[in-house]
Structure 1
């Protein structure tokens, strides 16, 4: 499925809107709109969330801390790693997780590049 290439400085929040996501630039050679293309390395997630204030109804804090991305490019790789794709700004193909890896919902992608499409 085609999608827009995600870059390291794309605006992204958790579903609770208070948490700001930061994409760690894994590579710096391939740029889109002057920003490094986000890739999916094996192992630890490369998207961290800070500032989420979500609390369970019982009062236990359960903030979003990472995003596990679910839409890697099938045909475009950057230095051997698949690029992150997003269908359009809005709910993204990933899942926010708490420190206990409890799924919290889809992240929301705001401002991002809209010119480069990949498969």
Structure 2
């Protein structure tokens, strides 16, 4: 089993943009902060990606592989093995989200 992601987990796009999460979960915590789910809102700020010298930053994360069995408030949670796609404003996929840290007190599949 691997650690669940929570609102203090550190995530980035492949171009060093910072991922922020707005979670609607107000019931379940892990490691002192609320567990995040694939249905939460994930925005990216500070992405430096360009195409032909024109800015084309990642702006959000779309999760394609949440945890396979663990749910919170009726939706699948995210863990260290989850896969999220970083997408631009035009919905172009620009790489996978990098999960740099998570809490280690609670794990799940």
- Say yes or no: TM over 0.5: yes
**1:107 — aligned with what?**
97
Q: Which has the higher strand share?
A: 2
- Superimposed CA distance per residue, residues 46-89 of structure 1 (whole angstroms, 9 cap, x where no aligned partner): 11001112111x222110000111222232211111111222xx
**2:10 — aligned with what?**
11
- Measured in 1, the distance between the counterparts of 2:37 and 2:97 equals 17
Do the aligned partners of residues 62 and 108 (structure 1) sit closer, same or farther apart at CA in structure 2, a change above 3 Å counting?
A: same
Under a length normalisation based on structure 1, what TM-score does the superposition of the two structures give?
0.82
Gaps of 5+ in 2: none
- Measured in 1, the distance between the counterparts of 2:74 and 2:22 equals 17
Under a length normalisation based on structure 2, what TM-score does the superposition of the two structures give?
0.89
What SS is found at the alignment partner of 2:14? coil
Count of equivalent residues: 109
- Measured in 2, the distance between the counterparts of 1:12 and 1:22 equals 8
**1:71 — aligned with what?**
65
**1:82 — aligned with what?**
76
